[in-house]
Amino acid sequence: MTPDKERLMFKIVNKTAYIGILGLGYVGLPLGLAFVKAGFKVLGFDIDVNKVKKLNQGKNYLKHIGTQRVVEAKETGRFEATIDYSRVVNVDVLILCVPTPLNRYREPDMSYVFGTVDALLPHLRPGQLISLESTTYPGTTEEEIKPRIRSRGFKVGEDIFLVYSPEREDPGNKNFTTATIPKVVGGSTPACLKIGQALYGSLVDKVVTVSSTKAAELTKLLENIYRSVNIGLVNEMKIVADRMGIDIWEVIEAASTKPFGFTPFYPGPGWGGHCIPIDPFYLTWKAREYGVQTKFIELAGEVNTAMPEWVVGKIIDALNENEKSLKGSSILVMGISYKKNIDDMRESPAVKIMEILSARGAIIKYCDPYVPVFPKMRRHYFPLKSMELSKEVLQQADCVLIATDHDCFDYDYIYNNARLIIDTRGRYRGRPEKVVSC
């Protein structure tokens, strides 16, 4: 065991290691708070001055996390946020939790990862562990991150330790926390793996080690591609069932009684979030380097990407039945985050539906207590604020679209006051009057 490894291992085991979290979003912030709760001192890095300011004041900007968790972390005296990358030299562990989106050509945009690594390189010192948690293609850690570290004269596995451990956050899921979700870890060398295993073993109930960083990177992609393919399958089944006059929700419920060989997935207005619409294309892109065409994965992507257009078609048909055209009709969208009970707007299918409807002349309004003001996103924007739900607001809408089924909505109240409801989430099963299920 090298002196650097020995010292770092000692600090981790004794929880005196100083943890640095780079990127304080939906992954980084809960991870940092979990490390504080486990007894570590944490320094969070972010380029967003407003985020850093709020955290240092004990305020929170992610609704599903709750302000109390941030307050409790601040009260320990072991949590701080900064925009100053020169402080990287002070921490023992650097965990990268930055976005990995797609560019306009649906190819990996690694600028956040590479930019963050390049920013911390001048401040690295021997005896630090670097862990990449951002979802990426197999080979990123070894082919991109490792050479950058070596360029500074460090020896990976001797004085700097490098691992890949994919994030497994599920915002809004109260059944699982950061500590209770098993953590997959792959190391650049056996020494790196041992350090990574010790770090995450001090935080989570179970650590699952794999043979390489590439295996860990592909594990994350498999998890999300599995979901993508099954979501695509059930969405296609929904369209077939709709044409046949069959209730797809009833079919899923019946199939779910089989105690083996079937896992239920549920249809919706399209895929959303940072993982499912993005991650499959990371593998598709990388697979081309090996001469492989991922037809199955790409087909699922086509099905899921087409769902917002299908929903709009159902809205048009329903309005026509009521002798109304889409152009000029008032559409109230209920829920615009990508899934219920959170404020995460990334790749939300509701937003894509809103854009299609608006482009075709509809008047768009929305109601979402989790998103009081429509945020300025990378590719989408509406100058709108969330409507306060009332009898008048519901009755004035030509169509109410249930796009994201937050539990806080009063669905009976909506039903009793709306003129026409398009339900993409199965909330109004068994209520055919003025409800169109899609």
If DSSP states are collapsed to H, E and C, what string results for 232-250?
HHHHHHHHHHHHHCCCHHH
139: left (phi over 0), alpha (psi -120 to 50) or beta: left
Pull the structure tokens for residue 171: 């915002």
Pull the structure tokens for residue 430: 């068994």
Residue 221 carries which side chain, given as an amino acid letter?
L
The pTM assigned to this predicted structure is: 0.91
The SS3 call for residue 185 is strand
For residue 172, is pLDDT > 80?
no
CA separation for the pair 251, 245 (Å, rounded): 12
Our answer to whether residue 97 is catalytic in this structure is no
Break the chain into its structural domains and give their ranges.
3-211, 244-437
Total Cβ atoms within 10 A of residue 415: 18
Q: Which residues pair with 184 in a beta bridge?
A: 208
The SS3 call for residue 427 is coil
CA separation for the pair 81, 79 (Å, rounded): 7
For residue 242, is pLDDT > 90?
yes
Out of 192, 275, 367, 399, the active site residue is 275
Which pLDDT score, from 0 to 100, does residue 146 have? 98
In this structure, CATH architecture of domain 244-437: 3-Layer(aba) Sandwich (3.40)
Q: Poorest-confidence range of 337-346, 406-415, 428-437? A: 428-437
pLDDT band at 364 (very low <50, low <70, confident <90, very high): very high
Yes or no: say if 156 and 34 are a contact pair by the CB < 8 Å rule: no
Which pLDDT score, from 0 to 100, does residue 144 have? 97
Yes or no: say if 311 and 438 are a contact pair by the CB < 8 Å rule: yes
The SS3 call for residue 329 is coil
Pull the structure tokens for residue 287: 């697979």
Which pLDDT score, from 0 to 100, does residue 378 have? 67
Which class in CATH covers the domain with range 3-211?
alpha beta
CA separation for the pair 271, 253 (Å, rounded): 21
- Per CATH, 3-211 and 244-437 having the same topology is answered yes
**H or E element at residue 367:** strand 363-367
pLDDT, tens only, 270-311: 988 877 888 888 999 999 999 999 999 999 999 999 999 999
pLDDT band at 253 (very low <50, low <70, confident <90, very high): very high
pLDDT, tens only, 320-357: 999 999 999 999 999 999 999 999 998 999 999 999 99
pLDDT band at 376 (very low <50, low <70, confident <90, very high): confident
CA separation for the pair 300, 298 (Å, rounded): 5
